[in-house]
Amino acid sequence: MIFLIKLSNLHIKTIFQMKKHNFAAGPSILPQSVIEKASQALLNFNNMDLSILEISHRSKNFVAVVENAQNLALELAGLKDKGYYALFLQGGASTQFLMAPYNFLPIGGTAGYIDTGTWSSGAIKEAKKLGNVNVLASSKENGYKNIPKNVAIPDDLSYLHITSNNTIYGTEFKEFPKTKCPLLVDTSSDMFSHVVDYSQFDLIYAGAQKNIGASGTTLVIVKQEALGKTGRDIPSMLDYQLQIAKDSLYNTPSVFSIYVSMLNLEWLKNEMGGLQGIEKVNFAKADLLYNELDTNKNFIPYVDKADRSIMNVTFNLADESLKERFDKLCSEAGIVALSGHRSVGGYRASLYNALPLESVKVLVEAMRAL
Ligand SMILES: *Cc1c(COP(=O)(O)O)cnc(C)c1O
């Protein structure tokens, strides 16, 4: 009791109040320890008697945060001392749709894309504003239920761009195309979810709000030797080389989002055992849910078995008249944000790193109770 009295009201609440089982696709769940540390920094950052919201982005304390976050990102990706640079930029993954061709597509060159969903299409749309785009394969006709296989890749491409995980449809590349040209990847919804050889990519980007931290910043990891070859006069904010020269601090960065990303990457490294550790948990969560979908006749998984995402699991009810009852079972169990993307409907369970296995067990129980 004495112990309890010493805790603040806020602390007692976070210990004893069960959080929701949050299956949101992004912004999404973060570890409770990260939320608590971030809350503390809002009140008093590094014992400076100032909030993290009130300090200069060029102060020693914040520059250390950016450096730590960059180092953690490179270390987790296995790209430290391998000629890569990590940036935390603004404008979301959507700005990378434009920034990638600005920095990788020479005037007169041709960019290759594999279209696996809404986000790939968005990337294609922006690249077309800068030059020639060759869409090598698309699963659009098939409702984006699969990843195109054995795609022929022409030798003359300036780069190939893929979306590693299709957040809306729930498909994921299990093997990446082998290319002679630079391979660029939008990995917004499965970055750091499992062990990947990130050295096969020249550009890796991910909006932080799914698996990295809080919305407002985007992790960009770029191979430095691949830059500076387009002959373009790149607008300053969109120029990776300039952003690298200024260490992500060309303009005022998203200070709080970068801090939350740093805390979350620390959690991933120190509490979860890095990518080797987290993939065990993520595979267990995905297996549990897909097994239920494969055996429970009330549910129909949306995508092809071979291409199932371990991060975004999409499914429909076999009988729509069960919807009200299933939704009620979910809400009684404390499950939130299970609706499919507004463009496809149905259900989508996002199983990002911070979602505990326990939450998937609760969902499976609700599915069995239907
Ligand atoms: C969410 C998402 C995006 C868009 O990210 P913003 O940060 O909102 O621009 C792009 N690509 C993928 C794969 C996504 O999941």
Residues contacting 346, CB < 8 A, separation 6+: 302, 314, 315, 316, 317, 340
Mean pLDDT of the 318-339 span: 97
Catalytic annotation, pick one of 119, 202, 267, 285: 119
Domain 52-270 grouped into CATH 3.40.50.720: no
DSSP state of 178: P
207 Cα to the center of ligand 1, angstroms? 6
258 has pLDDT over 80: yes
What separation in angstroms does the CA of 142 have from each of 99, 138, 146?
29, 9, 7
CATH 3.90.1150.10 placement within the chain: 274-369
94 Cα to the center of ligand 1, angstroms? 6
pLDDT the model gives residue 11: 52
Mean model confidence pLDDT for the chain: 95
137 has pLDDT over 50: yes
Residues contacting 204, CB < 8 A, separation 6+: 77, 185, 187, 191, 198, 219, 220, 221, 222
Torsional sign, CA 172, 104, 204, 206: negative
- Return the CATH number of 274-369, one of 3.40.1830.10, 3.90.1150.10, 3.40.50.150, 3.40.50.300: 3.90.1150.10
220 Cα to the center of ligand 1, angstroms? 13
What atom in ligand 1 is closest to the CA of residue 92?
Answer: 7
Angle between helices 357-369 and 274-295 (to 10 degrees): 0
pLDDT the model gives residue 16: 45
Residue count (the chain): 370
Mean pLDDT of the 229-237 span: 97
Higher-confidence position of 7 and 245: 245
Q: State if residue 92 touches ligand 1 by the CB under 6 angstroms criterion.
A: yes
Q: Which of 116, 120, 125, 121 is nearest to 144 (CA)?
A: 116
Rg of the chain over all Cα atoms, to the nearest angstrom: 21
Kindly state the greatest CA–CA separation across the chain: 72
Is residue 155 among the annotated active site residues? no
pLDDT the model gives residue 6: 47
73 has pLDDT over 50: yes
Q: State if residue 170 touches ligand 1 by the CB under 6 angstroms criterion.
A: no
CA dihedral 70, 72, 78, 81 (to 10 degrees): 50
177 Cα to the center of ligand 1, angstroms? 21
CATH 3.40.640.10 placement within the chain: 52-270
pLDDT the model gives residue 13: 47
> Residues 193-226: pLDDT tens digits?
999 999 999 999 999 999 999 999 999 999 999 9
Residues above pLDDT 90, as percent of the chain: 94
Q: Which of 202, 197, 203, 232 is nearest to 220 (CA)?
A: 203
> SS3 for 8?
coil
pLDDT the model gives residue 18: 62
Model confidence band, residue 164 (pLDDT cutoffs 50, 70, 90): very high
- Beta strands in 125-238, from DSSP E residues, in sequence order: 132-138, 159-163, 165-166, 171-172, 183-186, 203-207, 218-223
Identify the bridge partners of residue 172 per DSSP, sorted by sequence position.
165
Whole-angstrom Cα distance, residue 23 to residue 338?
6
What separation in angstroms does the CA of 27 have from each of 172, 228, 237, 239, 304?
19, 33, 24, 26, 26
Mean pLDDT of the 302-315 span: 98
> Residues 8-31: pLDDT tens digits?
555 544 444 568 999 999 999 999
107 has pLDDT over 70: yes
181 has pLDDT over 80: yes
Q: Which of 156, 163, 106 is nearest to 137 (CA)?
A: 163
Q: State if residue 167 touches ligand 1 by the CB under 6 angstroms criterion.
A: yes
45 has pLDDT over 60: yes
Buried b (16+ CB within 10 A) or exposed e, 148-162: beeeebeeebbbbbb
Whole-angstrom Cα distance, residue 205 to residue 96?
7
